[in-house]
Amino acid sequence: MKTITPVVEKHYQLILWMLPKIANFPKDQRFLLADRIESILLEILELLIEAVYSKNKRELLIKVNLKLDLLRFMMRITKDMKYINLKSYDFFCQSTIEIGRMVGGWLKSSVL
């Protein structure tokens, strides 16, 4: 196993933080919005780990950015529906901004 990169660790920590929040969604949303958010979180983790081992990192990292944007919109819905509070949403936003910057830096370095 290769060394875990900081962006993989940061995203992993975000998953650990988000799973209990998602579990508290209203019952009617647990199988719709919550499942979709969980899937996107795990897809991002898979793509990041795949990028660690891949020679073609660029394509994978572009997909990560796309999934991050999708995740941001999903979480915006949860905030607007009041499934999470503003403090949690702010923490989520700060975390995804940091992850996005790390992915962007990785993308730039993979072009060189």
The pTM of this model reads 0.94
The pLDDT mean for the chain works out to 95
Q: Mean pLDDT, to the nearest integer, of 19-39? A: 93
* pLDDT of 39 above 90: yes
What's the pLDDT at 31?
Answer: 85
Whole-angstrom distance, CA of residue 67 vs CA of residue 43: 8
* pLDDT of 7 above 90: yes
What's the pLDDT at 51?
Answer: 96
Residue 9 neighbours by CB under 8 Å, 6+ apart: none
Domains and CATH numbers, the chain: 6-111 (1.20.1440.60)
Whole-angstrom distance, CA of residue 43 vs CA of residue 48: 9
Which residue bears the tokens 């940091």? 98
* pLDDT of 101 above 90: yes
Higher pLDDT, 31 or 37: 37
What's the pLDDT at 103?
Answer: 98
What's the pLDDT at 66?
Answer: 98
